[in-house]
């Protein structure tokens, strides 16, 4: 187990970093959920835009704070869990990107997308629920440092990646309005990126340092 092997007990700063990473994922879900509510019927509003941007800004600030805490940890401790610090330095960016792509979903609403009466709403909703559950499960798995559950969750999420690509490809043959095809292609693209960043976040539990960000690559290009 990567984290347990390198993690020194008693280092409250590292525990605080872990808690902050989990909170960032939780906050990312709030951005995601708010954006999805708007896309599936609530529509755009100044209040929603303000709330999502505020939460996303908090995630960005938390990323900076995590990095400062890690640098301070390296500076003041004679015995440093350097591999663990490198892991957290890497995966904190993945967590920040989850919030960014969730915010991009709200941009679809700003541009006029509305899935509330879409003929394929049931399928669109299914992926909405699957990714939302993935985000919340990832926060729980990481907080418990459950490597077995993390590997199962990564494998489950990996199965979705090809499905997202298939949906994007299908939009080139979409028979409806071009704007609807664009909205769906971007929707599935954003879901793919959120999924990949969640998987990368979980690699902090199961992968050595040199193989972090493994799931940013297409399957055929993974070393």
The pLDDT tens digits of the residues spanning 114-168 come to 999 999 999 999 999 999 999 999 999 999 989 999 999 999 999 999 999 999 9
pLDDT at 79 over 80: no
| pLDDT for 17 beyond 80 | yes
Per-residue confidence at 102, pLDDT binned at 50, 70, 90? very high
Domains of the chain by start residue, with CATH: 2-217 (1.20.58.220)
Q: How far apart are CA 24 and CA 26, in angstroms?
A: 5
Does 212 have pLDDT greater than 80? no
Structure confidence at residue 120 (pLDDT)? 95
Nearest to 142, CA basis, from 24, 44, 30, 51:
24
* Nearest residue to 116 (alpha-carbon basis) of 221, 42, 168: 42
User: What are 169-208's pLDDT values in tens digits?
Assistant: 999 999 989 999 999 999 999 999 999 999 999 988 876 5
Cβ atoms of 174 and 139 within 8 Å: the answer is: no
Percent of the chain with pLDDT over 70: 85
Look at residue 81 in the predicted model and tell me its pLDDT. 67
């Amino acid at each position: 187990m990567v984290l347990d092997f390198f993690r020194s007990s008693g280092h409250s700063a590292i525990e605080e970093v872990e808690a902050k990473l989990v909170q960032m994922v939780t906050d990312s879900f709030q951005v995601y959920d708010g954006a999805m509510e708007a896309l599936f019927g609530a529509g755009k509003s100044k209040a929603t835009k303000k709330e999502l941007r505020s939460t996303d800004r908090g995630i960005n600030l938390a990323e900076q704070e995590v990095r400062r805490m890690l640098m301070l940890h390296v500076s003041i401790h004679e015995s440093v869990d350097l591999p663990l610090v490198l892991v957290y330095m890497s995966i904190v960016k993945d967590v920040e990107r989850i919030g960014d792509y969730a915010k991009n979903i709200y941009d679809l609403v700003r541009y006029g997308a509305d899935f509330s009466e879409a003929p394929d709403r049931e399928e669109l909703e299914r992926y909405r629920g699957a990714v939302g559950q993935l985000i919340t499960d990832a926060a729980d798995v990481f907080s418990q440092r459950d490597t077995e559950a993390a590997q199962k969750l990564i494998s489950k999420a990996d199965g979705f990646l090809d499905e997202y690509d298939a949906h994007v490809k299908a939009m080139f043959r979409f028979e409806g309005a071009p704007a609807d095809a664009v909205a769906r292609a971007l929707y599935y693209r954003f879901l793919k990126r959120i999924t990949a960043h969640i998987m990368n976040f979980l690699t902090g539990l199961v992968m050595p340092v040199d193989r972090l960000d493994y799931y940013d690559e297409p399957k055929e290009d993974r070393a």
